[in-house]
Amino acid sequence: MKIKTNKLELEKFFKDLEWRGIISAHANLDNFLKLENEEKIVYLGIDATAESLHIGHLFLIIQCFRFIKENFKVLLVIGGATSKIGDPSDKLKERPQLKYGELIKFEVNIEQQLKHFVLFIYTARELGELSSLPLEQFYSDNSKLLNKIHQILELDKEEDEFDKWNKFLSFILPPKSKGKFVKLNNQEWLKNEKLIDFIDQTAKHISVNYLLAKETIKQRIGNEDAGLSLSAFLYSTLQAFDFLTLHKYYQCQGQIGGSDQWGNITTGLELIRKVGSPNNKTFAFTFNLMTDKEGKKLSKSENNGALRLDSDKKEFFDFFRNMPDGQAEIFLKQFTFLSEEQVNELLKLNNPKKLRIPQRILLELVWFLNFKEVLKKENYVN
């Protein structure tokens, strides 16, 4: 009966991810739905190939918190080793090789940013004196509308302004749960891996034909001007080795990542199937990549750093402030923990659209998430 209850909870969780438009693809969904509580362990890998995380990473971290809320353990793996190569996925030409000093600097910066997001959360009372209620700065001249928004967000039930702010902040970071983050670095296991052992024990299980069938590899090989180096060709196998190592030593069952990671992630599933047990419970989810109104990928390379998490505040907030209505409705689902009913009610209330309720909720929440001083440590990481 306990397993059945857990399955119903996981089915509900998966349907919520689908409703929010987060899921791009999945593998071995049945394995996911059959997870025991102690098997609820997933990992997200982040290479340190730039000096700052960008808004796409913020999106992925928020999705990690959804797993945390469902009592998963999330392994955050910094690619200290794989960053030296650089993921060829979604790249039509070879990545420029970074200098050792740059890699170390990038790694330190990104670890600090991750610590900000996953080690700490804040409460309204610790932020000091608050001069207004949530969203009041936008709707001070329309108390009737503000009250309706507060009713939908269930802020009208709170006792004082601090309780209202705490409830509002819970829409970006869920309450403390049994889930937690564990920070790792693939340098820990790859630095001691001997080349001959890697070829003999790992690489031989992944055929060249299997890798050639991957879309990213096909695009690069078919491009005479770009080509594909051997190191980039083997990147997928190295990431697969990460998954195998985490599965073997950390009991990790799943990998999550952006949709551009599908080829790398499924290579990991294939390697675990061949090297480990064919009856394992591994699974994978990839998430839709964040795009702008033209459908262009939002990332550090596509936006000249404007959406980096260490970028100028005005640039960052102008992005949310000026967001088109359709995009804001999508982000309201994907960047918050508002329920389906709450989102639907807010969208009904946002009539005419010039009220810009989704944009302003996102703007105020992201302000706290990214730029307010962090004051309280929580046990999210071990």
For 147-210, the DSSP string reads: HHHHHHTT-TTSSSHHHHHHHHHTTTSPPP-S-EEEEEETHHHHTT--HHHHHHHTGGGS-HHH
Task: Determine the distance from the C-alpha atom of residue 161 to the mean position of all C-alpha atoms in its chain, rounded to a whole number.
Answer: 31
Domains plus CATH for the chain? 2-377 (3.40.50.620)
Q: What pTM was computed for the model?
A: 0.90
Q: What is the DSSP letter of 129?
A: -
Report how far apart, in Å, the C-alpha atoms of 234 and of each of 127, 146, 203, 367 are.
48, 55, 9, 40
CB 325, CB 358: distance < 8 Å? yes
Question: Which residues partner with 183 through β-bridges?
Answer: 76
Output the tens digit of pLDDT for each of the chain's 382 residues. Answer: 455 658 899 999 999 999 999 999 999 999 999 999 999 999 999 999 888 888 888 899 999 999 999 999 999 999 999 998 887 776 666 677 778 888 899 999 998 888 877 765 556 666 666 678 899 989 999 999 999 999 999 998 877 888 898 889 889 877 667 778 999 999 999 999 999 999 888 889 998 888 888 877 877 776 666 677 888 888 899 999 999 999 999 999 999 999 989 999 999 999 999 987 777 999 999 999 887 666 666 655 544 445 787 776 677 778 888 899 999 999 999 999 999 999 999 999 999 999 999 999 998 887 776 654 433 444 445 4
Instruction: Say what the alpha-carbon torsion angle 29, 30, 31, 33 is, to the nearest 10 degrees.
Output: 90
190 phi, psi to nearest 5 deg = -80, -25
Q: How far apart are CA 52 and CA 369, in angstroms?
A: 16
- Per the document, the length of the chain is 382
